[in-house]
Amino acid sequence: MAALFRGYRNFYKRSNKHVELILVSCRSMASKTPVGFIGLGNMGTPMARNLLKNGYPVIATDAFPESCKELQDSGAQILDSPAEVAEKADRIITMLPSSPNVIEVYTGSNGILRKVKKGTLLIDSSTIDPAVSKEMAVAAEKMGAVFMDAPVSGGVGAASLAKLTFLVGGVEEEYNAAQELLTCMGANVVYCGHVGSGQAAKICNNMLLAIGMLGTAETMNLGIRQLMV
């Protein structure tokens, strides 16, 4: 009887573990709702592809339709405008070339904020003026959405390998939600402070890199001159 009881207890424990694993799996799948991605250039395409690899359905668009084909072939849904993306996704990442592009994509006639849903998380990974990030955050807040800046350090190779570093600025309470997505595309995610702090950190990082490059160039010139004496 004791042996029978022990066998039943072990079976019960194994069954409970199996049920727990199923529940964890279901919760994980439930969290992977569609993610919008706008800007499918040399950096944006591999970043969006890494979201697909991690099981997130991606809804994307780009100003140049031909840029969308590669991601569409990987399984993404392609739409015609940022506003359409905002209608279908409550988490949107943008990766754009410059401040004017960001302003247009967010506030233009077919921009995200024309159709954004309340509670939407907007993450901009472009490298732009911190003042523009703050401006977009204010505009998003008026629509009930949350804007975070998250510029990246690392080039196309790092984007392809999901080894980027993200420098994040925004409301700290939203950081975990942003981190869930950013860790699919990067090896390091650093919270820098309020909106615009990520851009400020990126500017400092770029300045340090430029100083290093200038120092290297001047050192090489000095060495060449000495050899020619």
Residue 17 annotated as catalytic: no
Classify residue 173 by its DSSP letter. Answer: G
Q: Strand runs (DSSP E) across the chain, as ranges?
A: 35-38, 58-61, 77-78, 91-94, 121-124, 146-149, 152-153, 164-169, 186-193
How does residue 1 score in pLDDT terms, banded at 50, 70 and 90?
A: very low
- Give residue-wise pLDDT tens across range 150-201: 999 999 999 999 999 999 999 999 999 999 999 999 999 999 999 999 999 9
Q: Considering 17, 88, 118, 202, which one is annotated as catalytic?
A: 202
